[in-house]
Amino acid sequence: MTSIPLCLPDSISPEQFLSEYWQKKPLLIKQGLPQLIGMFEPEDMLGLALEEDASARLLTQAATKQEGLPQWQLKKSPLTEADFDNLPEQWTVLVQNLEQWSPELGQLWQAFDFIPQWQRDDIMVSYAPKGGSVGKHYDDYDVFLAQGFGSRRWQLGKFCDKHTEFVADEPIRLFDDMGEIIFDEILEAGDVLYVPPKLSHFGVAQDDCLTFSFGCRRPNLMQIIDSLADVATNDSDLFIPMLLPQTLQPSGELQADSIVAIKNQLLQMLQSERGDDIIRQAVSEVVSKRQYDALVPEEALNTDELIQALADGATLQADYSNRLLYNRTDDGIAVYANGQRLDGVDKATAALLMRLADGEHLQSHDVTEVDPDELMEWLENGWIWVDYAE
């Protein structure tokens, strides 16, 4: 199915990782992602940070903390070459959403196929010269920190919580005290460190260093509630006023009983089959939304070139800077792309989109039944990309 081996030590199965480590414990995976070695040089990432459409941040750190002044400075994109003049010794540049710029890098998500695609956020790179770091901090999400170039020393400390205090007046969330250091190792290119949410971590570049963060995400309840409202807007039955029992009450009061009766009807609806449908759709729309605006592809193929490329052995693969997912309903398969359910998809097409969403590489013979114009549309929408490498 996929050509990239899973990023786990030989001794740990995906099931074991999910039950013992995921969201619980860090894990060092020596040479977990050897494909990263030599894929990029620091110069490539510096170039990317300067692109007009990049989501980049330049973080500089003064050598010493002066009373009353922040020690760190943060500049967000657009970044210019001038921003890189006269930098202090310690700095880091971060670029988000690298899948948009390199589908080959995006494909490395397949090494984490034990994490559902909808829980993946994006790949971020940090470039820092020797000594650079983003400080001691924690993240709310799981992250796989993969060393791509040079080496970085990683220290892990205590788990944080909402009471953890950050250093005041700095432009980023960081703290001084990581508690007891439970891990202290230097990662070389190809090594990967899994860090669960809220675990304090601190990575310092040992030399010119590129670290790729494969970051995860999960929706929050507010996003789901918001999406429920959007989906429900299209359900005319829900606009019919409710019938409520009436008791004699002061005319100015909205009584708790009435609120309970309304809440019960709301919960009943959510727990009915219709509720299942609305919730399924609301969740699917939220988790299939892309985080970053799509970039216009630089040079699109035309239909003949696409057919030729496939005939020459190229494959079609899901483009992980977009979100393609499916779920099973009583009526069949619902496919979602970038926050929207695809209507009017026939069974055969849905089956192909499912295979793509699952990470399969489709070859010419897999798509003979599909109208090439439809494939072109998928390509133009950014759901897929053409890999000439195989």
Contact residues for ligand SIN, defined by CB under 6 A? 92, 126, 134, 139, 143, 145, 201, 203, 211, 213
CB–CB of 94/48 below 8 Å? no
| Nearest distance, CB of residue 158 and Co ion, angstroms | 14
**Nearer to Co ion (CB atom), residue 60 or residue 107:** 60
**Nearer to ligand SIN (CB atom), residue 126 or residue 281:** 126
Encode burial over 11-39: b for 16+ CB neighbours within 10 A, e otherwise: eeeeeebeeebbeeebbbbeebbebbeeb
The span from the CA of 155 to the CA of 322, in Å, is 33
Burial (Cβ within 10 Å: 0-12, 13-18, ≥19) of residue 187 = buried
Instruction: Report if residue 142 touches Co ion, rule: CB under 5 A.
Output: no
CB–CB of 48/95 below 8 Å? yes
**Nearer to ligand SIN (CB atom), residue 143 or residue 337:** 143
Ranked by CB distance to Co ion, the top (closest) residue is 139
Query: Residue 203: which of Co ion, ligand SIN, none does it interact with, CB under 5 to 8 A by kind?
Result: ligand SIN
One of 122, 139, 142, 191 touching Co ion (CB under 5 A): 139
Number of residues in contact with Co ion, rule: CB under 5 A?
1
Query: Residue 211: which of Co ion, ligand SIN, none does it interact with, CB under 5 to 8 A by kind?
Result: ligand SIN
Query: Residue 148: which of Co ion, ligand SIN, none does it interact with, CB under 5 to 8 A by kind?
Result: none
| Nearest distance, CB of residue 63 and Co ion, angstroms | 23
Q: Does an H or E element contain 44, and which?
A: helix 42-49
| Nearest distance, CB of residue 66 and ligand SIN, angstroms | 24
The piece of 34-42, 54-62, 137-145, 185-193 that touches Co ion (CB under 5 A) is 137-145
The span from the CA of 275 to the CA of 225, in Å, is 13
**Region class of 347: left (phi > 0), else alpha (psi between -120 and 50), else beta:** alpha
CB–CB of 228/282 below 8 Å? yes
Residue 204: beta bridge partners?
153
**Nearer to ligand SIN (CB atom), residue 213 or residue 322:** 213
Q: Does an H or E element contain 15, and which?
A: helix 14-16
**Nearer to ligand SIN (CB atom), residue 117 or residue 213:** 213
Q: How many CB atoms lie within 10 A of CB 155?
A: 16
Query: Residue 90: which of Co ion, ligand SIN, none does it interact with, CB under 5 to 8 A by kind?
Result: none
Residue 27: beta bridge partners?
194
**Nearer to ligand SIN (CB atom), residue 190 or residue 203:** 203
**Nearer to ligand SIN (CB atom), residue 211 or residue 288:** 211
| Nearest distance, CB of residue 193 and Co ion, angstroms | 11
| Nearest distance, CB of residue 143 and ligand SIN, angstroms | 5
| Nearest distance, CB of residue 135 and Co ion, angstroms | 9
The span from the CA of 54 to the CA of 36, in Å, is 21
| Nearest distance, CB of residue 247 and ligand SIN, angstroms | 56
| Nearest distance, CB of residue 139 and ligand SIN, angstroms | 5
CB–CB of 88/133 below 8 Å? no
Place of tokens 């990432």: 45
| Nearest distance, CB of residue 58 and ligand SIN, angstroms | 13
**Nearer to ligand SIN (CB atom), residue 108 or residue 324:** 108
Query: Residue 126: which of ligand SIN, Co ion, none does it interact with, CB under 5 to 8 A by kind?
Result: ligand SIN
**Nearer to ligand SIN (CB atom), residue 35 or residue 126:** 126
Place of tokens 């890999």: 387
The span from the CA of 101 to the CA of 296, in Å, is 11
The span from the CA of 313 to the CA of 4, in Å, is 18
**Strand, helix or coil for residue 243:** coil
Residues that bind Co ion (CB under 5 A): 139
